[in-house]
Every structure is written in C-alpha cells, then in structure tokens.
C-alpha cells in the first residue's frame, strides 16, 4: 500500500472487532508527516453523527496530521456518549502518533444508533 501513497503519508487498516466478521477490516488510519490542510462539506441536517460534529469544530484547519476511520458503527444518534467516543478515538490516535488532539479527524460509517465498542 505504501507505494501508492504520496510521500510523507502512511496508512494502515486492521480488524478491530467493530464488525462481527474477522475477515473484514473495520478500522483504518491515515497519517501525514507534515501538517495537512483540511476542510469539510457537512450535512445540513440537525441530526448528524458525532464525528461530523467533532470534525465541524476542527475544520477548516491547516494542521491536520491524521484521520481515523471505523466501519461497522456510524456513531450517529448516540448522544453525548457518541461524542465522547469520537473524542476518545482522536485522543488515542493523537497519543499514539505524538500529535495534538485537534490534529486528528474522526470518521465513522455503519449502523446508526449503535455505540462504538471502545473497549476493543
């Protein structure tokens, strides 16, 4: 995969236990060695996923270094807990990659209304 990435970018995908099928990857991380410009075009709906709310607060930005993406649980319609889970995902990546929390964006896709299995 590294041969297909721009210089200074790294990416990985794993099975983390979000999905039931262990043969399906459900968590990915893209990291840039240098600050990256990021912006977003977001839904106009009042109801949106916790990662959308978090990323709206962080963009536009000229200092994003990482994006963490899970598949299997959308983290939408999950209330305050969903927002805290999105923040925790960003914090875990930031700590692991020696970044500031605000330099990490979070994305989720999957079943609406379910909470992320953060213990995994």
Q: Determine the Cα–Cα distance for residues 70 and 116; give it in Å rounded to an integer.
A: 9
Question: On the CB side of 24, how many CA atoms lie within 13 Å of its CA?
Answer: 9
Give me the phi and psi of 33, to 5 degrees please.
-70, -25
Q: Which pTM was predicted?
A: 0.93
pLDDT of residue 72: 97
The model's pLDDT over 31-69, given as tens digits with 9 standing for 90+, comes to 999 999 999 999 999 899 999 999 999 999 999 999 999
Token pair belonging to 42 = 């977001």
| Domain 2-111, architecture per CATH | 4-Layer Sandwich (3.60)
For the chain, which residues make up each domain, given as ranges?
A: 2-111
List pLDDT tens digits, range 61-75.
999 999 999 999 999
Residue 39, SS3? coil
Give the C-alpha separation, 49 to 38, whole Å.
19
């Amino acid at each position: 995969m590294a041969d297909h990435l721009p210089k200074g970018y790294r990416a990985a995908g794993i099975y983390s236990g979000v999905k039931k099928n262990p043969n399906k990857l459900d968590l990915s991380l893209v990291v840039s060695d240098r600050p990256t410009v990021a912006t977003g075009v977001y839904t106009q709906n009042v109801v949106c996923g916790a990662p959308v709310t978090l990323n709206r607060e962080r963009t536009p930005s000229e200092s994003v270094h990482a994006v963490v993406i899970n598949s299997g649980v959308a983290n939408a319609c999950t209330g305050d807990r969903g927002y805290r889970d999105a923040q925790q995902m960003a914090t875990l990546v930031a700590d692991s990659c020696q970044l500031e929390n605000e330099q990490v964006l979070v994305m989720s896709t999957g079943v609406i209304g379910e909470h992320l299995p953060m213990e995994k």
